[in-house]
Each structure stands twice: as C-alpha cells, then as structure tokens.
Chains A and B, each alone.
Chain A
Amino acid sequence: MLVPQFKSGTIMDIVHTPSQKTTHSSSRLKVEVVGNGQKMMQEQKGQESEATIPGSSRPKIDVQQMNFFYGSNQALFKVNLTIPENRVTAFIGPSGCGKSTLLRCVNRLNDLVLGSRVEGKILIDGQDIYRPEVDITDLRTRVGMVFQKVNPFPKSIYQNVAYGPMLQKISSRSALDEIVEKSLQGAGLWEEVKDRLHASALGISGGQQQRLCIARALAVNPDILLMDEPCSALDPISTGKIEELLHSLKEQLTIVIVTHNMQQAARVSDYTGFFLLGELIEYDDTKKIFTNPGDRRTEDYVTGRFG
C-alpha cells in the first residue's frame, strides 16, 4: 500500500521507491538542522557528504521565522529555511500553499500588495533585506525573477534585454550590445534570435519568450534567480531547454524554482522544500525528498496520492 504509484515512467529513473519508515526520524532531524538557519549552517561548513548542504556551497538566502499576512489572512507560518549558493532549490506543494508568496518575499515584490505584512527576517548574504535602509531597486537587481505568465514587454527583443541595464544608466551602445549578446547566450537564445534582435518580442514562440525573460533577468547580472513555475505554459521541448539552462546557470547563480511538476523538481533541483498550507513541512536533498521523505504528507504529495 505504501508503494507509490507513479503515473509517469520517467521519474522512476531518478526516484526510487521510498523504503523503510525507520529513516524518518533521522531525516526529520536534518530538516531541523537545515531549518535552524545560518548558525547551524556555518557549523556544518567544510563538512562533506553528511551535511545537507555540501561544503563547497555557502548559504545564500536565509529565511528566519517568516510569517506573512495578506491583510488578516496569514499565508506563511514560521518558515525557516536556508538556500545554498550555486544550487537549484525547488519549492513544491499544492496550490495556495504559499510558494509564490515566499518567492516574492525574497525580492520584496509583495511590498506592492496593499495591506500585506511581513514578520521575521530574510537574509541574503547575511544582510536582512527587510531593513528600512535597504534600497529595493538595488535588491531587485541582485534578485532576478522569471514569472509563470510569460511577460516580455511589447518592445523589441533587444530592448527587452537592454531594459534592465538601461535602468542602470548604461547607455553606451557597445556596452549594451555586449550585455544583450551575453545575456541571450546565457539564456540559450542567441542563435535563434541574433538576426532579428530588433523584431518585436511578442513575435517569437512562447518558449523563446520565456528564455527571453530569463535573458532579461540575467542582463542585470543578479546573484539569485527566482523562477515561479517558469515552464507551466510551455511544451516539453521548451521545458527541456529551460531545464538544461538551469544546469548551466547554477554555476554563477543561486536558483529557486517553484514547480508543480514533480518530475521537473526531481530532475533539476538539488534541494526541495515541500509546503503545505503556508508551512514548510520538509526541506531536504531532492533525492531524499523523492525517495525517502521524512514526513508522511510529503510522501503522499510526491507520490501523487495527495488531494
């Protein structure tokens, strides 16, 4: 009965059948280790294999005791987690559980929502981004975002990519040309659009548009890239291209991706956090989450038995 029924075959390659319940307690411990944030992380620094976060990577984003309210409606409950640098971290969970909310807290896009309120801290490189003296536009250039709804501006491809740099008052033509080329190459789009840089961005395919949005985010040279269901509107081939891209991008970036696609989370991420009703239920190595989750609810969700 406990053996999960995978509907799709592909995931079977990566994910093995979760086995004994005995491991649950130990994995739970690890979640706490991860969840307790920076201090614990620092202690673990340098330690290999045993640590949830391999030694080569420092903590990049550290969420501490995060509560989030839309007016009187609380969307996040005491969330603690640490996201390592140069890794892909996936957020999974049923609809409405607060994944997007947490993601949008990291670049403070939720500030726009009237009546919203934040409690707790989010540290990026050890600095709390909710301090009053933080320059939000500066923060947002360091934390790029790619949205679920593909949203290139109704401008040319070139203007889309140059949009961010131009905001930073880079106006020299050659500098912009270089940034545009590099960003498009980074997003794996250069070869496809280099002959029509000045054509409308709305005239390319959906998958290309989403990669254009990635290129646009890369153009301001962020250290973190937040992706909120970036592939939900794309076909498998475009999805595959973007997944490949994540592998190459994580060498320079810290990536956080929200996805409803379990296979995708399993394929692309190094760490996975499972959310339910605004709480972080479990956060661990992706492999562990999918093969041997510590929580019954996680298991139910990743095996597709969850409502």
Chain B
Amino acid sequence: MQAVSLKKFFDSGTLFVWMCGAGLALSLLMIGGLLALIFINGMGYFWPKDLVQFTLHDGSYVLGEVTGHEVIHDSVNADSPEGKGRIQLKVGNRDLYGLDFRWIDESHIQAQSTPTDVVFLERREWGNFYGRPHRVMQGDSVVASGHQEATTALFPLIDRANEIHEDIHYLERSVIGDINHEIEAQRLSLRALELEGRANQSEVATREQEVAVLQSRYEAEADKLRVLYTQLEEYSVVLEDVNGTTKELAVGQIIRMLQPNAMGVGEKVWAYLGNVWTVLSEEPREANTEGGIFPAIFGTVLMVLIMSIAVVPFGVLAAVYLKEYATQGALVRIVRIAVNNLAGVPSIVFGVFGLGFFVYAVGGSIDALFFPEALPNPTFGTGGMLWASLTLALMTVPVVIVATEEGLSAVPREYREGSLALGATKLESLLRVVIPCAMPGILTGLILAISRATGEVAPLMLTGVVKLAPSMPLDGTFPFLHLDRKFMHLGFHIYDVGFQSPNVEAAKPMVYVTTLILVGVVIILNLAAISIRNRMRRKYAGSTI
C-alpha cells in the first residue's frame, strides 16, 4: 500500500518539481545574499556616522567612528565578566597615530559619549582627522581661537580653499595641459621632419620660435599657479585631538569639515547624497582609497561600448557565414565546436594573446608606420583603451556567434522564401529580412557579452588598464577620443584598492562601494540592451524568437 503510494509520488514528478524549486531557491539565495552584502556595505559607506568618544580606565580618550564589534575568545579575559568583546574604531589622524583603526577592549572602557563639538575633517593627505579645531591662524597671527570660534571661522575658509583648488585644477589640466600638448606637437613635427630629411633651417627656426612663444605662455601660467598655491598656504588651523595633541594644518589641505554629532537626520541625508555624488563624479585621491571613482566608471563604460561596437559586426558576420553560406559539413561542425570552446579559454590567455598580437604586433607596426617621430615612446605599441576593448571583443565573440546562429535558425523559413520569391538575392534577403528578424537573438548575445566583459579584469591588466590614469580617454583635445590612452576600470580598481593598497582596512569600504557601482554599471548596460531588444521583439512580434 505504502510502496504503491511512494511509487505514485515518484512517478507524479512532484519530487522532481521540488528539487528544481530547491535548486532555484538556493541559487537565488546565494545571488541575493551576495548582492545584499554588497549593497548594505556599499551604501553604508556614504552615511556620515556619529563620532563616539570613549573614556578609558587609564584616563585617556579615544574618538572615532565605530566600524566593528567582535567577541574575543581570549582566555586572559575570559574570567572578567564585562570584557567579552572588543570594538573596532576608525580613529583617523594617521599622521599622529600611524594607523587609522584601533581595537578597544570593552573591559577598558569607562564611559562613552557623543560630544557635539567634535569635527570630522576630510583632508587631501593623511586621511581623515577627528578632533577639534583649536585656533585659526593667518600667517603668525591668530584669527580665531577657541573650539567654537575656530570651527565657525573655518567653514568659509574651506569653501574659499576649494575654489582655489578648482582654479588650480583648471590651470593645470586645461590651460597648462594644452600648452604642453602643443609644445609636444611641435617637437614631434620637428622630429618627423628630421626623420624625413626635410628639416631645413627656416622650418626649424619657425618651430623653435613657436615653442619659445608657448614656453613664455607656460611661464605666465605657472606664475599664476604659484600665486594660487601660496594662497592655499595663507591660512592654517591648529587642530587638537581628544587627548590634546595639536597639529597645525594649512586650510588648503582640508576638503570638507562636518560635525556629524551635531547634524540632524535631514542634514545627514543631504551629506549622504553629497557623498554619493562625490564618489560618482570625482577622481580618486590617496592611492585610490579616498575620493571618487569617476575615471574608473567612465573607463569601464567606454571600454564596454567600444567592445560592443567591435564584437557585434565581427560576431554577426562570422555567424552569418557559418549559418547561411558555409556548406554544412564536418568542417563547419569542427569550427562550431572550436568557437564554443573558445568561450571556455581562461581570460588571462586572451590577455596574453592581446598583449602579443594587438599591443606588440599590431600596435608596434602602427607606431613604426604612423608615429615614428614619437619613438621610442610607444603610441599604440603599449596597452590602451583600443587594445583592451579588442581583446575583450575577441574573448566575447564566441558568445555573440552562438547567439546569432540561434537567432538566425529561429527566423522562419517562410520569411526567407517569401523574400527570395519576390526576386531578392540571398544577400538582400539576409540584410532586409533575416538579420533584422534575428536582431533580438543578436542582442541577447550582446547582453551576455557585455555581462562577461564588464566584470573581466585579468586580460585588461596586460592590455591597458592602470591603477591611476593621468588623463581620460575622452577629453577636449583633438581628436577627443584617445583610444591609445591607458584607462581605469572598476574591476581592476577593486583589485588595486582591496589588495594592493598600503592601508587595506581603510580601503575596505571603497572596495564595497566600487563593487556596488560595478554591479550597477553591469545592470544599467544590460537594461539598456534589454530595452532595445524588447523594442525589436515588439516590432517583430510575429517572429518566434
């Protein structure tokens, strides 16, 4: 009786359905857990936390943000009833303490408070400062003294300093950058003339004259720059940590001052959004552990776009040939198997290939042919945006080929025959009917390719990614898109910040933030491709794909 019902249970497929459901649930749980971890840690980074001041039994004070808590299984403390745990604090003040983080045993704590007058200073060097401003100085004379007065006096000074920094940035990047660019162009054209043996006296003279003009313009701008730099040094502030240790700091070194303990929720939300914007829009500072990651976001997106532009035509052409033109025989089957297996080759192998083929062989030849004047400095003969994108395109082309072939197979035979019967040639049928109908399939391939390429790091390390790129691959100087330049990438940024930085603990939140943004970029790129695909699907609603 029971055996029969058990057999019935097996035969009914209920068990199978449950197993499928469990498998799906497990996958979702893992993905969901991962995303939740990244999301919570990443989003938490932006919140201005309260600064907690601890009074220890030995009479000293500690001030900082609470970043962790841990139970100690230490036999020494096991018998003391209250000291079962310890707290991790971000105490900042790296210039004073040497380390940003500190663990305090709970058993050593006598009291804890959140004084409203403590400030949090974001500095251009040495990380954050937690403490109180003691007095503000102009040169040697005191402008304001006392915690309250100094703090109030400091706010406008910081704003002013930031404006000066913007001016400096503009002068250095745009004005002086352009002048340097022109001087370099003159030098290169002179060198090119020499190489071609056409460098006569007058040519050389005109160029030298132009360089001299540029040089004098450069001097003028450099003078302005020096003035701005001295202005930054004009005011300074004497800071005091919780234990009374003082430190003098030029106001120009300060980016931002907050009094988190005095802020209401509204102010904190505002500061939170400001922090998000900073990360999204600014360039990194201090070995990438502070500031923003805009260049990395930009580099990632641009690289994926260039890769897409390269991979789609390439993959579609290959798939069309394989599916529509090649005689379906043993050879085509072997090619198809080879293409599928290409997707399983470790990405670092593609990186090595990209380095050897694109960078050294193709790039080297381009340099020798078109940029001989710049040698021995390589132009294309070194890793760069173009080569990294092409390497990734090569890596993802199998995905596009497979998806396109499937898309082509799904185009109903009636469409092809209908087109041919109207006097279309095979090519015309392909271009006007078959490929448009296969477009959703092609885009599915592109979506998969984008997902894979965005998260890829290893091949990029060989073909053009750097931890800190001096200039963006897209800017205002002709020809605007500089595919030869090295670039930053979110995936590499995670690796660099998380594992290569001197201060791993301080960099941890940045790793989460970068990961969160990388996931966000993947999602946004995919959503864009999916929405295009859905538009196409609606257009070709009759097709079965």
Contact = CB atoms under 8 A, between A and B. Distances in A.
B544 to A, nearest CB: 11
A112 B428 CA distance: 15
A164 interface: yes
B418 A141 contact: no
B114 interface: no
A109 to B, nearest CB: 6
Contacts of B542: 152, 154, 202
B262 to A, nearest CB: 62
A140 B541 contact: no
Interface stretch (B37-45, B223-231, B272-280, B409-417): B409-417
B423 A154 contact: no
B421 A163 contact: no
A220 B436 CA distance: 22
B533 to A, nearest CB: 14
A137 B423 contact: yes
Nearest to B424: A167
Given A154-B540, A167-B428, A217 B422 contact: yes
A213 interface: yes
Contact of A154 (B328, B428, B543): B543
B422 A164 contact: yes
A153 B417 contact: no
Q: Tell which of B418, B421, B540 has the most Cβ of chain A within 10 Å.
A: B421
A151 B412 contact: yes
Contacts of B414: 147, 149, 151
A167 B540 contact: no
B468 interface: no
B541 A164 contact: no
B432 interface: yes
B216 to A, nearest CB: 60
A216 B540 CA distance: 18
B422 A202 contact: no
Contacts of B503: none
Contacts of A149: 412, 414
Chain B, interface residues (CB within 8 Å), range: 20 to 34
B100 to A, nearest CB: 61
B420 A153 contact: no
B88 interface: no
B431 to A, nearest CB: 11
A153 B419 contact: yes
Contact of A109 (B412, B415, B421): B421
Contacts of B421: 107, 109, 140, 144-145, 147, 217
B425 interface: yes
B532 to A, nearest CB: 16
A216 B421 CA distance: 10
A263 interface: no
B514 to A, nearest CB: 43
Q: Tell which of A109, A144, A163 has the most Cβ of chain B within 10 Å.
A: A163
A163 B420 contact: no
Nearest to A140: B423
Contacts of A154: 436-437, 539-543
B415 A153 contact: yes
Interface residues of A, number: 26
A141 B420 contact: no
Contact of B422 (A112, A114, A141, A200): A141
A147 B417 contact: yes
Contacts of A138: 423
A281 B542 CA distance: 40
Given A154-B541, A202-B542, A147 B424 contact: no
A163 B540 CA distance: 16
Given A154-B543, A202-B541, A163 B417 contact: no
Interface in A109-129: 109, 112, 114
Interface string A135-179: 001101100110101011110000000011001100000000000
Contact of B424 (A137, A145, A213): A137
B374 interface: no
Contacts of B540: 154
Interface string A52-95: 00000000000000000000000000000000000000000000
Contacts of A114: 328
Interface string B426-439: 00100011001100
B323 to A, nearest CB: 14
A233 to B, nearest CB: 12
Contacts of A147: 414, 417-418, 421
Given A154-B540, A154-B541, A109 B417 contact: yes
Given A163-B432, A200-B539, A220 B420 contact: no
Contacts of A152: 542
A220 B422 contact: yes
A151 B423 contact: no
Contacts of A137: 423-425
A167 B418 CA distance: 13
Nearest to A165: B422
B422 A216 contact: yes
B436 to A, nearest CB: 8
Contacts of A167: 422-424, 428
Contacts of A164: 422-423
Contact of B415 (A140, A151, A200, A216): A151
B541 A163 contact: no
Nearest to B425: A137
A151 B422 contact: no
Contacts of A112: 417, 420
Contact of A163 (B328, B422, B539): B422
Given A147-B414, A149-B414, A154-B542, A163 B437 contact: no
A200 B541 contact: yes
A220 B418 CA distance: 13
Given A153-B433, A154-B541, A202-B542, A220 B417 contact: no
- 4 closest cross-chain pairs (CB), A and B: A151-B414, A141-B423, A202-B542, A154-B540
Given A114-B328, A151-B414, 7 more contacts: A112-B420, A144-B422, A153-B418, A154-B540, A167-B424, A216-B422, A220-B423
Interface of B: 328, 412, 414-415, 417-425, 428, 432-433, 436-437, 539-543
15 contacts: A109-B417, A112-B417, A138-B423, A140-B420, A144-B422, A145-B417, A151-B412, A154-B436, A154-B541, A163-B419, A167-B422, A200-B539, A200-B541, A217-B421, A220-B422
